[in-house]
DNA sequence: CAATGAATTCAACAACCGTTGACTTAACCC
DNA sequence: GGGTTAAGTCAACGGTTGTTGAATTCATTG
């Protein structure tokens, strides 16, 4: 419960000046921004809407973060430790695929992470900055580490295939909402997609 | 070469009134709109930019299509015949996965189709209309027909899994541009992803 | 060749957006 | 407790956007 203010619309009564009490309205702005960016994407989210959701004046957003792009970037300090993500693979030799999928689903279950990830995914579709950011994130953080673990000649292609299946899972399950993918249990997803990842990692691609 | 005008910026010299010659500037607007929607998505594409690319006044766009949403919808008369898409599966019994992937790649090779598809995908990320449109397109046109062909009890989940891998392929290869996925040849993609689709269709999901 | 209608442009409106600068109030430090 | 600094608001500017209505020119038909 780090949320300050009741997140209503105007300010606390319309008064001016500094707020009394433990005013962490900076994090309130960040939370509202994360939520709105995640829900509507970058372009359809206005600074005024963020400010209103945080119960704050629009000018305060600029006071804290400067520009809208900067606010978006501040939203994206990702709490996903790649080593934690891939470390689980070491614990299940021969069954890395299922382990990785289960891990990914567990990570997406964290609301904060889910919001950041969907916001990045949504924005990356039409905003060049986010597109580059997502590509770099996938390439350097994900693909590179995966390729290192695989070690074979076609490691990069294998890592790309893994990314493609996981990206498609995110798209159909989190963003677009294809019914059977949304309603399927985590266990069903792991059972269905795990072997695919396993084959992309270590199987034959011929 | 159905394109009219040289697609410059203003009009033909700045004159008023009706243009002489075979005025197919309506389709010029449609082409420009398709191209820009595909490149930048719905929100970041302005009617003024579309008009400029078509060498036409912004007001003409409204004269033809009314609202911006209507123009977008007019852009989306999809030339993908689902039966043509899935018909290829009948010709390769037991190898439907590879056949379907190859077919999908061939369809994406058509510039017109590629533009419409990427525009829809980009816009579906943040625009509710397009999101519903894409979901319905996938669900009724794609999943339903796929499910009919599969016929088993878990047909819907299987169709959803197919959609997830194909959507991820589109995302990484067409939109975000993950290097190994872009540079891979069609044959490599078919060889790698075809068996995945095959397993989702007819294999064991346990 | 006059008349009708459609194609096309011009100019502008109203709304909204991101951003800025001046101002006010509270918290904090010596 | 006075002074400094940061939090917070207000009002407004300049730009862009979707959209509209009137005016103008061409194609077409009788």
pLDDT digits (tens, 9 = 90+) for A156-181: 899 999 999 999 999 999 999 999 99
User: From the C1' of C25, which residue's alpha carbon is nearest?
Assistant: A17
Residue A104 near residue A166 (C-beta atoms within 8 A): yes
Return d(Cα B167, Cα B103) in angstroms, integer: 14
What is the model's pTM? Answer: 0.88
- Two tokens, residue A52: 């209103």
Decide if A8 touches B, using CB distance below 8 A.
Answer: no
Closest nt to B70 (CA→C1')?
A: D18
Q: Does residue A136 come out as left (phi exceeding 0), alpha (psi in the -120 to 50 range) or beta?
A: alpha
Decide if A181 touches B, using CB distance below 8 A.
Answer: yes
Decide if A160 touches B, using CB distance below 8 A.
Answer: yes
Return d(Cα B181, Cα B189) in angstroms, integer: 8
The 10s digit of each residue's pLDDT in A113-159 is 999 999 999 999 988 888 888 888 788 777 788 877 777 788 889 99
Chain B residues with CB inside 8 Å of A49's CB?
A: none
Decide if B72 touches A, using CB distance below 8 A.
Answer: no
Task: Find the Å distance, CA of residue B117 to C1' of nucleotide D23.
Answer: 40
pLDDT band at B6 (very low <50, low <70, confident <90, very high): very low
The 10s digit of each residue's pLDDT in B91-103 is 998 899 999 999 9
**Is A58 (CB) below 7 Å from strand C?**
yes
Chain B residues with CB inside 8 Å of A178's CB?
A: 135, 138-139, 143, 160, 163-164
pLDDT at B79: 64
pLDDT, greater one: B146 or B99? B99
pLDDT band at A1 (very low <50, low <70, confident <90, very high): very low
The 10s digit of each residue's pLDDT in A28-86 is 999 999 999 999 999 999 999 999 999 999 999 999 999 999 999 999 876 677 788 88
The 10s digit of each residue's pLDDT in B19-28 is 655 568 999 9
Chain A residues with CB inside 8 Å of B43's CB?
A: 41, 43-44, 126
pLDDT at A104: 94
- Residue the block writes with tokens 């580059």: A132
Size of interface A-B (CB pairs under 8 A): 158
**Is B27 (CB) below 7 Å from strand C?**
no
pLDDT at B21: 57
pLDDT at B163 over 90: yes
pLDDT at B30: 96
Least confident residue range of A1-5, A53-57, B149-153, B197-201: A1-5
On the 0-12 / 13-18 / 19+ scale of CB atoms within 10 A, B8 is: exposed
pLDDT at B15: 62
pLDDT at B14 over 60: no
CA angle B30, B31, B34 (to 5 degrees): 85
Decide if A184 touches B, using CB distance below 8 A.
Answer: yes
- Residue the block writes with tokens 């619309």: A9
Residue B169 near residue B117 (C-beta atoms within 8 A): no
pLDDT at A6: 34
Closest nt to A64 (CA→C1')?
A: D7
């Amino acid at each position: 419960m780090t949320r300050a203010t009741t997140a209503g619309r105007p300010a606390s009564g319309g008064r001016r000046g500094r707020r009394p009490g433990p005013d962490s309205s900076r994090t309130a702005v960040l939370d509202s921004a994360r939520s709105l960016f995640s829900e509507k994407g970058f372009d359809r989210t206005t600074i005024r809407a963020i400010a209103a959701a945080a119960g704050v004046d629009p000018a305060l957003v600029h006071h804290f973060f400067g520009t809208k792009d900067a606010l978006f970037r501040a939203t994206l300090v990702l709490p996903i430790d790649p080593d934690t993500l891939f470390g689980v693979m070491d614990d299940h030799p021969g069954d890395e695929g299922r382990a990785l999928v289960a891990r990914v689903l567990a990570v997406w279950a964290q609301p904060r992470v889910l919001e950041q990830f969907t916001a990045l995914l949504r924005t990356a579709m039409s905003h060049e900055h986010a597109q580059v950011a997502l590509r770099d994130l996938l390439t350097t953080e994900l693909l590179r580490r995966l390729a290192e673990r695989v070690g074979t000649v076609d490691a990069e292609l294998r890592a790309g295939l893994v990314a493609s299946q996981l990206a498609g899972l995110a798209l159909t399950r989190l963003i677009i909402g294809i019914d059977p993918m949304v309603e399927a249990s985590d266990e069903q997803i792991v059972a269905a997609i795990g072997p695919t990842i396993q084959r992309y990692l270590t199987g034959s691609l011929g």
